[in-house]
Structure 1
Amino acid sequence: MGNTLGLAPMGTLPRWSHRREEPLPNPGSFDELHRLCKDVFPAQMEGVKLVVNKVLSSHFQVAHTVHMSALGLPGYHLHTAYAGDWQLSPTETQQAKFLTWQFDGEYRGDDYTATLTLGNPDLIGESVIMVAHFLQSITHRLVLGGELVYHRRPGEEGAILTLAGKYSALHWVATLNVGSGGAHASYYHKANEQVQVGVEFEANTRLQDTTFSFGYHLTLPQADMVFRGLVDSNWCVGAVLEKKMRPLPVTLALGAFLNHWRNRFHCGFSITVG
């Protein structure tokens, strides 16, 4: 009896032979490196604030803001926004001269982001402020990059270089910025869908100051409530409670902050409609 040699068709090759590595994700922008940790901390509140947002159409929206505070005079702000290509008249903007101008450019590749910002460049006066950012995804979890800040004006010139790194795991994110101007480190941890915590450390070499902060974020979905709190090394304790008044488009917020070192206390209450 002779030997029989069987060949498998090309379409039936083992699955591992067609395995391809997934492309690296885009790292995002440099300003968003510490965003997850910062969103855990409560925002400072003082006085009473009423915010009413109204979308009149797909091109036009209006916002009213009333703020009353014991630290300053009460104020009212009206903000209108129009998005479209219809110019009512040439006098909508001041076209006589430039007071300040800035150029921003950002390019996002498949696994990297490059950003360049020029502020008030003056070729005659030889003055400019330039900020360059670059982030590169090394792996699916590791991101490395840096920031270069350069400024020049008559009689003065300088540059500050900052290196950055970010490591993202399944339930936590660690970020570090180190440069000649100081250091900024943050750690974000998501315990579950309701509890999130963040730890932040900042050191400024120019001011000779360091700050250590701990924040937590608690979500109560059944009650439509969000609670944020913080404790830092400056003996400051604060918390903000937000409550959505469903089915109405109204959000209530109550916050209080106490600085034991400076013996200062302030609280705030806000209502947001829309």
Structure 2
Amino acid sequence: MRARYSSFSRDAQPSRSRGPATVRSSGSSATARRAASSAISPPPEAAHFGPKRKGVRAAPAGLRAAPRPCPAPAGRRRGRGRCFAAPGPAVSAACWLGPEVFPQQMEGVKLIVTKTLSSHFQVTHTVHMSTLGPSSYHFNATFVGDRQLGPTEAFPTLVGDMDNSGSLNAQVLHLVAERIRTKAVFQTHQAKFVTWQFDSEYRGDDCTATITLGNPDLLGESVILVAHFLQSVTSRLVLGGEMVYHRRPGEEGAILTLAGKYTALKWVATLNVGYGGAHASYYHRANEQVQVGVELEANTRLQDTTFAFGYQLNLPQANMVFRGLLDSNWSVGGVLEKKLPPLPVTLALGAFLNHWKNRFHCGFSVIVG
């Protein structure tokens, strides 16, 4: 079992019997996007939740699988998810993203050790020695309940992550009804609350509806509300939209984004169009060893367009996975992961170079458990 987990989904292919997934906002007003991104944070690093940040891993032996949470509704994360997996039950809002082909940038040295204490409880220790910022230590604890709906979903689920400065990230996930899931997220910076977020998701046979309430403050008259709805039009086509509304004293704004996704046997294409621009992606699986992906994003407000190409090479006989990246910002990078069976150890080595800014950094991690 690996000590590193993430929010990638393995069942992102939509069908009439499954609900589609999340919409990534591509166009926005500057004020609304800043408010949404600051108030609604992604889940803490935790078993089956937090960053690797790439690739949902199978539940460790003896530990029940935890459900995949919805990611932060405002904001975009590149190249996440697995869209070539076999069909499954209704898809949550975490499954809209592309395959796991883009490498995650890493720097410094990181040691991650995970211990499964029982079929319900697991703890993780993470030590990160950084060359760009202060070093840190994280302690993570995960509890999953008895009600298991699938290999990656069990309720209730409690996740807590605390670092050496006393900052806390916590999540609580609960199944209210067969089709209704709820989640509460709390985040503190030392002794100060910075985020409190409440989600409710409904999964129909061929649709998904989610509403998120971020940092509600009745006294300060401020709130962030995110709502999205996605519909499987056919077994391969998903259409939907997302609205982000924010209000604070003297400010009020809303963002509307429309999205579509088409899933074929060996490729996936997505398009998101909003007020401030558009985002398009295409992912293709050449064979069992090679996957490639491209992403294009245009921001009309900033008059900026970016392009990225990523690829993944699997070498199962050598227990190795390599991911590479090349983008329009003159950046190149790659991450090599190597398993060491029969030991429960994985080594990862990454290096990234930005030619335009003349910046280079590399990282090394050891995952035990």
Would the alpha carbon gap of residues 100 and 230 (structure 1) be closer, same or farther in structure 2, given more than 3 Å must change? closer
What pairs up with 1:188-207 in 2 under 5 angstroms?
188-207=283-302
The answer on 1:233 being equivalent to 2:294 is no
Would the alpha carbon gap of residues 32 and 77 (structure 1) be closer, same or farther in structure 2, given more than 3 Å must change? closer
Q: Percent identity?
A: 75
What amino acid maps onto 2:20 in structure 1? G
Shift of 1:259: 0.3
Shift of 1:35: 2.2
- Structure 2 distance, partners of 1:137, 1:166, is 9
Shift of 1:36: 2.5
Higher mean displacement: 97-106 or 205-214: 97-106
Shift of 1:261: 0.4
User: Is the contact made by 2:20 and 2:96 (CA closer than 8 Å) also made in structure 1?
Assistant: no
User: Is the contact made by 1:34 and 1:186 (CA closer than 8 Å) also made in structure 2?
Assistant: no
Given candidates 95, 98, 103, the residue that maps to 1:36 is 98
SS at match of 1:36: coil
SS at match of 2:103: coil
What amino acid maps onto 1:36 in structure 2? G
Alignment correspondent of 2:226: 131
Alignment correspondent of 2:124: 63
- Structure 1 distance, partners of 2:281, 2:106, is 23
> What whole-Å deviation, never above 9, does each CA across 1:149-206 have from its counterpart, x for those lacking one?
0111121111110000001111100000000132111101011111100001122334
What amino acid maps onto 1:29 in structure 2? A
Given candidates 312, 315, 337, the residue that maps to 1:242 is 337
What amino acid maps onto 1:35 in structure 2? L
Which structure would you say has the larger Rg? 1
User: Is the contact made by 1:33 and 1:175 (CA closer than 8 Å) also made in structure 2?
Assistant: no
- Structure 2 distance, partners of 1:45, 1:102, is 28
Given candidates 17, 31, 56, the residue that maps to 1:25 is 17
- Structure 2 distance, partners of 1:170, 1:257, is 32
Would the alpha carbon gap of residues 98 and 267 (structure 1) be closer, same or farther in structure 2, given more than 3 Å must change? closer
Alignment correspondent of 2:361: 266
Alignment RMSD: 2.2
> What whole-Å deviation, never above 9, does each CA across 1:89-132 have from its counterpart, x for those lacking one?
xxxx99xx987532211001001000000112334443221101
- Structure 2 distance, partners of 1:147, 1:98, is 27
SS at match of 2:98: helix
Would the alpha carbon gap of residues 121 and 72 (structure 1) be closer, same or farther in structure 2, given more than 3 Å must change? closer
Would the alpha carbon gap of residues 99 and 32 (structure 1) be closer, same or farther in structure 2, given more than 3 Å must change? closer
- Structure 1 distance, partners of 2:129, 2:123, is 20
User: Is the contact made by 2:20 and 2:206 (CA closer than 8 Å) also made in structure 1?
Assistant: no
Alignment correspondent of 2:136: 75
- Structure 2 distance, partners of 1:109, 1:164, is 19
Alignment correspondent of 2:348: 253
Would the alpha carbon gap of residues 213 and 119 (structure 1) be closer, same or farther in structure 2, given more than 3 Å must change? same
Given candidates 242, 266, 278, the residue that maps to 1:147 is 242
Q: TM-score, normalised by structure 1?
A: 0.82
- Structure 2 distance, partners of 1:100, 1:198, is 33
Aligned length: 242
Alignment correspondent of 2:65: none
> What whole-Å deviation, never above 9, does each CA across 1:212-240 have from its counterpart, x for those lacking one?
00000110111111010010000000000
Given candidates 302, 305, 311, the residue that maps to 1:216 is 311
SS at match of 2:200: strand
User: Is the contact made by 2:101 and 2:310 (CA closer than 8 Å) also made in structure 1?
Assistant: yes
Would the alpha carbon gap of residues 270 and 29 (structure 1) be closer, same or farther in structure 2, given more than 3 Å must change? same
Query: Which structure 2 residue ranges, 5 or more long, are not aligned?
Result: 1-14, 23-92, 146-155, 157-169, 171-185, 187-191
Shift of 1:257: 0.4
SS at match of 1:222: helix
